Structures are given as structure tokens and as C-alpha cells.
Amino acid sequence: MQGTNYLLVILACFGLFMLGAHFIRYCRFSSRKIPALKLCLALIALAMLLCASTLAVFLMHDSAYLPIAIAVNVVCIVFNNTMFVHVGLRMLGSTKKGFVRALWMLYLVPLLLLPGMLRQYLTMPLLYDEAGYGFAYELVPIGYVLTVYNFLISMLVVFYTIRPSARSPLRGRKLRWMLLLAVALPSLANVFQVIHPLFVYLNFNSLTIWIPVYIICYVYFGYLSSARTNAIEYMDEVYALFDLWGNCVDINESGRRFFKRFCGTNTPSLQHLTTLLGREPEGSFQDLQLILEYEGEKTYYTLDSFSVSDNISRYSGLGFIISEVTEYHLRMAQLDALATEDPLTGAKNRRYLESYLDNLQRNAGARKAPMAVMMLDIDLFKNINDNFGHKAGDEVLVELCRRCEANMRKQDILFRYGGEEFLIVSEGVDHESGQKLARRIHEAIGSRLFTTAEGEIPVTVSVGFCSVDIEGNMDIYKMVELADEKLYEAKNNGRNRVECCSYAFYFQQQPLQ
């Protein structure tokens, strides 16, 4: 019996250590206000209190403290067989509200029996073993009633756990059987006490209370941990966590695919992310734009960064959430095209021209490079519509824009100014280069016939050109007006020609050489 005493002391001390370690673990997360953590903290705290108080009484040889041990043991029995069954039924759930209310009434049974149990156990005759420990091994009638009650309600929980149900959250076999073990242990302890008085002597319920508490907390926190892990592991966004030395300490499947695609490795370091960003990431930021190229196509991402701290609020690493927004950018580009482009020709529309000219005008004083504008108008376009139809006229407009863009520079912008009138703005082009550009476009349009569904159509344009070479202030709207005047001059001089002027010569009242 003495060896058994030492074994129980070791078991109880080990239980207190495990409960204390888990209590500290859950306290670290308590600031997150997660309901499962609050329940775990309450269960562990109460289990530690009961286990420690029973162990303290058990270690005393004075039988005067035996009534305290008996009272604690009775309270422990009630705690085991109400709280654990309650936890089990809550985790299982039920769609029958009336049945749940009935179960709440059943929880009152051990509480109603508690006063009678305490009175009868505390007035029982005490027996002593050879080591001088006092104990009571006879179960009173109320104890038998409670044992049967615990056994039946535990069987009820077992039934609702193992029954097949698509709505049951306990479809995982491991968690299901662990929960069953936690719920069944208190009832088994009572059954064992009926079978053999040794279990009464050992204070089995109070000294091993940490076992079912440990299991239930593991199940509760297991759900929480599993849910968070699955949410991070299988979400579409990239999740990566780096420590102080730049080593990746956590990454999800999307993160592994991301870094494998752009860095050639699925175990990245912070240096790989630095290479992608073009700079070292520091501190926390949100919605940082990142454009990467893969297999010749651009992909767009946004980065959110957050600092990671340890338990005493010291910086210990960086975490990143990377979201792909390529589809969003494509949709925004489509909307931008609808707002700024002419739907027929693809040239920029008049609305975009106004904002573009306003921006040039605001920055006119800081202009350092030359500029040229040219106005194009299709000669006798009404005759094309009258003779070939408006559909052929539309085809002519589209082909004209195609020929213009084929002979323009990439930075030049083509606007549809009116019905058959177009404007080209060329920044960084001086007077001589601008004239060559205007004549090249004029020749590209008029040198070949336009092929339409109604046949081949000869098309010519008249072009008005204006340039500015000097630095400093200029009036962009006046330049467009001068180009338009030169266009009408080309029309009056016989069409199918280019007329040029200089912004500076215009204000100096000098003819263009």
C-alpha cells in the first residue's frame, strides 16, 4: 500500500505539472478572446485546485483532515460528472431544442444529491490502514444513485458521439474517441469504486481529474488549432513568416507555389522576397503593389506585412500576406479603356484628351523638351459614306488609325478629335523631326488604297502641324488651335497636303522657313 501511495503522489504531481503547463500556454493566447480558450482556462484552473487540495490532504497522516479530503472528493465527483458530460454534449450538439432543455434538468440531479452525500460521507465510520491513513470505503445509497446516473448519461453521450450523422462535428475518429474517453473516465471511476473499495482509498476521482481535463482541453484547442491551420494552409493568399535571421519558419501551400514560380525554391528566405520587391522590406505596410512577370505575362500582387512579437512584446520577425490581383487589374484596365478609348477605332477619346491637355498645361512652365501636335482630317469623307455606306466609312476610320499607329512612336498618342478628325501629340519631338513624322503618316495613308467590304477605296488626309522648340511657358491649347488652323489651310490649298507652323514663329510674326 505504501508503494501505491508514492505512485499516486507522482501521478498527481505529474498531473499538476501538465495542467500548469497548459494553463500557461492558454494564458498566452487569452488576449485573443477566443471562447474555447476561456473554457479551457476555467476547466484547468478548477482541476488544478481540486487536484492540489486533495493531494495536500492525502499527504497528511493526520486523520483529522480526512473530512476535508472526503468533502473535496465528493465535490470532485460532482464536478467530473456534470462538467465533463456538459462539455461532451455541447461539443456534440443537438437539433432538438426540447431535448437539450431536458438535459439541463438532468444536470441538477448531482447538485441536488450533493448535500446528502456530504452529510452521509462525513458521518461514516473511518477505517485506518497500517500506515495510519484514515479512509471510508462504504458507498452510501446516494452514491449508488449518482453512479447509475453518471453511467447512464455517459452512455447517452457515447450514443450521440458514435452515431453516424452528417451534421456531427466529430467526424474525425481520433477526436471522437478521445472525447469519449474524457467523458467516460469519471463514470468508470465511480463504477470501479462500487466494484472495489481500493479506488475509494486512492481518491481516484480527485487525483486523476487532470486526465479528462487534459483530454477535453486538447479536443477544444485541437479544433481551434486545426481550423486555423486549415484556413492558413488552404487559403488562396500567400502566407509566409520569417524570423529575425530571415529564415522562413512558416509558409502555406500557396506560398510554396509562389516562391517556386518566381524564385525557384519552395523554402524561401527573406532575401528572396527582397529580390522580388527590389528593396529590403521593413516594418508593417499594407497594399504594397508588386508586378512580376511569368512566362511572358505580367501578374499583379499586393503585399501586406506585419511585425511578429514574442510574449514580452519584442520584435522577432516579419509576416507577409501576398494576394494576387491580376484579374482586378485586367478589369480596371478594361474599365479604363471604356472610359478613355474610342470604341470604334481604339484611339483615345475626347474625354481623355481634355484631361491630358489640362495636365500638359499645368506643367507647361517646367517643360524642357520640344513638342509637336498634328491635326488630321479625311478628305471628302462624306463622299465615302454616301458612295460606299457608313459601314465602309467605319472600316476606313479603323484602318486609318492602324496606319497612323504603325508610323508613330510608342510614346506618341493618337486621339479621335471629331467624326473623321484626329489629333496626334508627340512629346520630345522638335520641329524638323515632327515634320518628317507628319509627312510619313500622310504618305502612309494616301499611298495605298483602303480595303473594305465594299471594295478598295482611295483615301487622303489633310494635315495641320504645329511645334514648339523653346523651353519655358507655352499654351498647349493655342498649339492645338494653330494646328487646326493649318489643317483648314491645307484644305483650302487643295487637300491631301501637310501645312506646318511653329509656335515661336507665330508669336514673333515671322514666316516659317
Read off the C-alpha cell for 145: 444513485
Q: To the nearest 10°, report the CA torsion of 179, 222, 28, 37.
A: -50
Residues in the chain: 513
Read off the C-alpha cell for 106: 438532468
* Positions of E strands within 310-369: 315-324
Of 198, 66, 197, 40, residue with least CA distance to 132: 66
Of 450, 372, 442, residue with least CA distance to 413: 372
pLDDT at 92: 52
**Pairing outcome for strands 461-468 and 498-502:** parallel
Whole-number Å distance between alpha carbons of 424 and 269? 49
**Pairing outcome for strands 134-135 and 371-378:** unpaired
SS3 labels along 48-90: HHHHHHHHHHHCCCCHHHHHHHHHHHHHHHHHHHHHHHHHHHH
pLDDT in tens, the chain (513 residues): 455 566 667 777 887 888 888 787 777 665 555 666 777 787 788 788 777 777 776 666 555 666 666 676 667 666 666 666 666 565 555 445 555 556 666 666 666 766 766 666 666 655 555 555 545 555 556 666 766 766 666 666 666 555 544 444 444 556 566 666 776 676 666 666 666 655 555 555 566 677 777 777 776 666 666 666 677 877 889 999 887 778 888 888 899 999 999 998 888 988 898 889 888 887 777 888 888 988 888 899 999 988 876 544 455 678 899 999 888 888 887 787 778 889 899 899 988 899 899 888 888 777 778 889 999 999 999 999 999 999 999 999 999 999 999 999 989 999 999 889 999 999 988 889 999 999 999 999 999 999 999 999 999 999 999 998 866 567 889 999 999 999 999 999 999 999 999 887 666 544 443
* Positions of E strands within 325-444: 371-378, 413-416, 421-427
Q: Which helix (H) or strand (E) holds 147?
A: helix 141-162
pLDDT at 60: 64
Whole-number Å distance between alpha carbons of 23 and 20? 5
pLDDT at 314: 56
**Hey, which residues does 457 pair with through a beta bridge?**
450
pLDDT at 405: 94
This prediction has a pTM of 0.46
Buried b (16+ CB within 10 A) or exposed e, 120-156: bbeeeeeeeeeeebbbbeebbebbeebbebbbebbeb
Whole-number Å distance between alpha carbons of 184 and 154? 6
SS3 labels along 215-235: HHHHHHHHHHHHHHHHHHHCC
Phi, psi of 410 (to 5 degrees): -65, -30
- 65: region left, alpha or beta (phi > 0 left; psi from -120 to 50 alpha): alpha
CB 438 within 8 A of CB 497: no
pLDDT at 168: 44
CB 44 within 8 A of CB 23: yes
Of 466, 235, 498, 445, residue with least CA distance to 372: 466
pLDDT at 100: 54
pLDDT at 504: 74
CB 376 within 8 A of CB 462: yes
Of 109, 81, 98, residue with least CA distance to 205: 81
Q: Hunting for cell 486512492 — which residue is that?
A: 202
Contacts of 109 (CB under 8 A, 6+ apart): 146, 149
Burial class (CB in 10 A: 0-12, 13-18, 19+), 266: middle
